[in-house]
Structure 1
Amino acid sequence: MKFCKKYQAYMEEQEKKLPGVGFKKLKKILKKCRRDYNSQNDVQAVLDHQPCPHHCAVCDGTFFPSLLKEMSAVVGCFNERAQKLLELHLASGLRKYFFWFTGKLRGNHVGLIQEGKDLVTYALINAIAVRKILKKYDKVHDSKQGQAFKSQAQSMHIEILQSPWLCELMAFHINLRETKVKSRKSTSVLFNACSLTFSDGKPSLTCELFDSVKLDIDLTCSICLDTVFDPVALTCGHIFCFMCACSSASVTIVDGLKFAEPKEKCPLCREAGVYEGGVHLEELSILLSRSCREYWEERLQTERVERVRQAKEHWELQCRAFMG
């Protein structure tokens, strides 16, 4: 089955109507663009199947705005649902009772796990749809505008593979994979497995989907060059140790990343203003603490000393400022 039909079938099978990429509609736009261009040229051009020009008013005025809107809707929906799901799972004490009282915990535990798997599948299949339609655009136009658009989408933070909640859901799935869950047929076909793998001692999250698509998320902090500890994802999608991120943003761990200046840049991509919206990856932290127990204990002891030192300095400065 071709991807377009497979994608349409997947979206139609969803119990709740979710935003998606208008794959079929976008393909029609590209097909019409090529047909209109060829009809305006001589017979030889038609026989040679010359591509549409690099900058096409039809495509650039319809194709990209439409895709941009759809990608934004998909990412917004995914982030919102993933965040709510993980809040329910990580809730404890009075917070968990509050969720139960307000009706948010009516679903059983198995249902939460299944929803997590479904959300990962939803994210990855839409990422594939975007990749394929942009590849089709570049083929029709014999250009690299599709790749340029992808870079633009990443800078706008509407590339779903950048979402920190995708990493969290993958870790969530691995943490609970021992629980037997009865999956729907469509999910079992599309979604194979998430796993934590180690290569030369370096960990990474891996997720496989149909069509030989594989997603790898490197879990090595590019600042300390070690496995991320107390991981945090910046809005650009890059993952660092919380303490390393604070150091890079020139803030103390007491103040946190919310106090970072907008001018501070990501150490990897050099994008500014990515610290304030950073997300603590709690599920990933749980996964790594279980998988790297010795390393985790060692880092815990080391960072505890540093946190105490920074906290002491912070409150000493506060006292001096208060006393004048």
Structure 2
Amino acid sequence: MKKEYMQGQEKKLPGVGFKKLKKILKKCRREDTHEVHDVRTCPDHCPVCDGSFFPALLKEMSAVVGFFNKRAQKLLDLHLASGFRKYFFWFKGKLRGNHVGLIEEGKDLVTYALINAIAIRKILKKYDKIHYSTQGQAFKSQAQSMHIGILQSPWLCELMAFHINLRETKTKSRKTPALFEGCSLKINDGKPSLACELFDSVKLDVDLTCSICLDTVFDPVALTCGHIFCFMCACSAASVTIVDGLKAAEPKEKCPLCRETRVYEGAVHLEELSMLLSRSCHEYWEQRLQTERIERIRQAKQHWESQCRAFMGV
């Protein structure tokens, strides 16, 4: 599936080589035509898969996620920039011809992510079918723990919110290109979730309930494992103050949901999602803002008091 999804892209985008990986599996099947694979030993004793299939897939998945995160972050930085920084990005974008296609590129990036997710799912399903095993799904879980699952990317969640925000605020503008209609914010029984549907086979739902406070995420952050929490809840789970921030968390601190370590340093503040929720859940957002303001002031006061005592040697 190495196809160009974005206009103006000079080089081919990294993608999951579905056909190439299928050829590797065909080679494996030819070599073991008369032998039934043992679920307990495959792929540990499958030299074709160990030597070619999984390393190739791992490399391609890493390239896809790296490219997607980089491009999505760049696009959203441009959209959220303000003041001099915004004009600098705008001028730079005009020179490169990218600013006009900002929305189109966002659509293409979401499509790119979902199509590669389909390719990964299909090739792993094919692997399990050939080997009579569940090792393909085990590899998928391993990839998620390595944070190279593209559907885990916090930037995918941000792009979904980006499209919903633009659709709700720019619909009256004639100059606005056709927006991606597959993304939506759903609220069921007061619980919001982000939904994205590209094809019938790909439906992505992102729960926006913080598993720590059990309320709608406020000032949301996504850890590198993909789980989303309120910023203050995440700081509490990481045993850091809001003044120090999540980057100050110890590597040993774990995600409250999946128990993965080293997930706080690369946490992403979901600004587009925050804007979407503040507009869609306005009353709740205002109440939560007042409540958290008191706690933030308290923590900031404690922090600076401790800093002053340390400076004075008290």
- TM-score, with length taken from structure 2: 0.91
1:1-324 alignment to 2 at 5 Å?
7=1, 11-12=3-4, 14-15=6-7, 16=9, 17-38=12-33, 41=34, 50=36, 54-55=42-43, 56-101=46-91, 103-106=92-95, 107=97, 111-178=101-168, 179=170, 182=177, 193-324=182-313
Distance change (3 Å), C-alpha of 1:23 and 1:108: closer
Q: Which secondary structure state, in structure 1, belongs to the residue aligned with residue 298 of structure 2? A: helix
Q: Which secondary structure state, in structure 2, belongs to the residue aligned with residue 176 of structure 1? A: helix
In the aligned structure 2, how far is the partner of 1:58 from the partner of 1:283?
44
Q: Which secondary structure state, in structure 1, belongs to the residue aligned with residue 193 of structure 2? A: strand
Q: Which secondary structure state, in structure 1, belongs to the residue aligned with residue 243 of structure 2? A: coil
- TM-score, with length taken from structure 1: 0.88
Tell me how far 1:182 sits from its aligned partner: 4.5
In the aligned structure 2, how far is the partner of 1:93 from the partner of 1:215?
35
Tell me how far 1:192 sits from its aligned partner: 5.1
Distance change (3 Å), C-alpha of 1:232 and 1:31: same
In the aligned structure 1, how far is the partner of 2:271 from the partner of 2:233?
17
Q: Which secondary structure state, in structure 2, belongs to the residue aligned with residue 177 of structure 1? A: helix
Q: Aligned-pair RMSD on alpha carbons?
A: 1.9
Q: Deviations over 1:64-86 (max 9, x none)?
A: 00000000000000000000000
Number of aligned positions between the proteins: 300
Distance change (3 Å), C-alpha of 1:231 and 1:13: closer
Tell me how far 1:201 sits from its aligned partner: 1.1
In the aligned structure 1, how far is the partner of 2:94 from the partner of 2:280?
29
In the aligned structure 2, how far is the partner of 1:302 from the partner of 1:309?
11
Q: Which secondary structure state, in structure 1, belongs to the residue aligned with residue 158 of structure 2? A: helix
Tell me how far 1:110 sits from its aligned partner: 5.3
